[in-house]
Structures are given as structure tokens and as C-alpha cells.
Amino acid sequence: VNDALVAQLAELARATPARACDVAPSTAGRSGASAGDGLFARGAVAAGRVVATYPGLTYVGAATRFMKDYPRVTRENEYLIARSDGSVIDAEPWGRGGENDDAWPGAPVALSEAEARRADGASWLERLRKPTLPRATRARLARECATLDRGDELALAHYANHPPSGTAPNVVVASVDVPRDSDARRRTQNVNVECEEEGEETESVWSIVRDGERSLVERARDASLAMFGEDADKPRARGGTVRRDVVRGLVLVSTRDIEDGEEIWLNYRLSTHVTPPAWYVRVDPEEDERRWSLD
């Protein structure tokens, strides 16, 4: 599957004109109020094809501790999404691409001089409470972020809305690992944020919480170790060592033929353990119960 997705992204990189998406007011009504912007297909898309890509910073494994507002990263950010391997992509600083270049890449990569001085001079306790990337790492990531195509009109998957009542989703998410030296890299607007340590990858808090094979007690223990434990004690990801030759992205893939101008609907599959927004309607309640079961 990954090879097929990489091949599609490479094809999209070579296509003339390049396939794109549109962002416009959503057709989803939410209790009489506007649902804000939504994502729309520009041109017909056949079933099984990449519709859009999810841009932004991809936090790999234990690097989630560097996320903005960590550990309460979702408090003011609606543009986070987790991959199947537990990596988390933050599209908030990407926005609509070139329309707001000042916001990209944002913290924790780009800091003001005052913020950088505070980060570099922080005490051990301050670094534990609010981890920051080393200055050299920030500089390297900033250079890579500057190479991405801010005008890529396929990189708008974060504007896809959850389907309203009576509407079925027409896309699914799929993780994709894109070789850095491939044509597909040109349509993958992501930069990996990884821990500098070599060797076995530590597991992210997100993947621990989502792991249905562990008991609630085991999840609480391992999540605590992932956040606050010493490096030697942190739980290890099942995938083995960190792959640094790929960029970790995520795409929306059509589940059926989609017409030109049709709105894109993605099942958000919100956790059953939190109170969802008033507008949220579960697509498949039984599937959600199985997915988020603590048994």
C-alpha cells in the first residue's frame, strides 16, 4: 500500500497541470450555524486515488514532547491528526499555505530571539516541564521547512470536515512514508521532528493511549514513562529503529468516485471517552466503541 501511495504522489508531482483542491464555506450545517471552511475536489477523482495531503510538522515517537502547549496539545489546536504508527502531524502552522508564510513553521522550530534565549538557558526542571528543541536542531528543521512548496494546493487535507447526519464519508486516511530522494517528496509537505538520539525509537503517548492490547493501568504507566521517564526507561515502539530516510506524511484516499466540486467528508472517529461537540454525529457507533474500548 505504501509503495502505491508513493507512486501516486510521484505521479501527482509530475502532472501538468498539478491536481489541486479548493477551500470554501462548507455545506455542513451545524445547529443552524456555519461549519466554517470545508475541502472540495477540484476535478473528478476516481476511487482509490489520493485526494489531498495533510501538511505540517510530523512529531515522531517521543518527540511529541516538543509540541506547542505540551502536554495539553489539543487545547487550542483543531488541526492535529495521528498516524497509525503514533506519529502526530500538526497542520496549524501550515494554514492555507502561501497565504500566511509568517506562521510557518512556528514553534517549536522557529522561536523569537527572546524565546530562544529562554529555551537555551532553561534549567533542568524547566526543560522537564517544557521541553525545547536544541538550537542546532531548530536551525536544521527551519532550513528543511523553508524548502517545502507553500503554494501546493493539494496540501489542504486539514480542512476536510466530518460528515453531517445523513452523509457518508467519501475518503479515508492513510499513512505514507515517502523516501526523501523520490519525486513524491515534492508533493509531501511535511517535516519530521524526531529525537536526536540514535537507536531504538521510543513510543509516543498517542500510540500508547490508542493501544487496545494494553489495560488501562498499563496505558497509564507507559504514558507516564513516555512523558517523564529517563530515556532508558521509556517504552519502545514496536516498529524498531527510527527511519531517517523517509518523510512521514498522511493522505486522504477516495473510497468512491468523487465529482468535480464535491465536498470531501472524513470520519473524525472521535474518542468515545470524551464529550464530543454538539455537531458531531457518529458514522458507525459500534465501530467507534470497538476502536476506543478500554477492555
The CATH code of the domain that includes 140 is 2.170.270.10
Instruction: Count other C-beta atoms under 10 Å from residue 227's C-beta.
Output: 17
Residue 277's Cβ-count burial label (10 Å; 0-12, 13-18, 19+) is exposed
pLDDT at 170: 97
Instruction: Count other C-beta atoms under 10 Å from residue 259's C-beta.
Output: 10
> Alpha helices, DSSP H only, in the chain?
2-14, 113-120, 124-129, 135-145, 205-209, 216-228, 285-291
pLDDT at 272: 86
DSSP track, 8-31: HHHHHHH-SSPPEEEEEE-S-EET
What residues have CB less than 8 Å from 11, skipping those under 6 apart? none
List the domain range (segments joined by +) for residue 25. 1-292
pLDDT at 18: 86
Look at the chain and report how many structural domains it folds into. Answer: 1
pLDDT at 293: 74
| Alpha carbon distance 82, 104 (integer Å) | 20
pLDDT at 198: 42
What residues have CB less than 8 Å from 171, skipping those under 6 apart? 51, 52, 160, 252, 253, 254, 255, 258, 264, 265, 266
pLDDT at 34: 62
Q: 10-residue block means of pLDDT along the chain (295 residues)?
A: 96 91 87 76 96 97 88 87 94 89 90 84 76 90 96 96 94 97 97 73 68 74 71 61 83 97 95 86 89 67
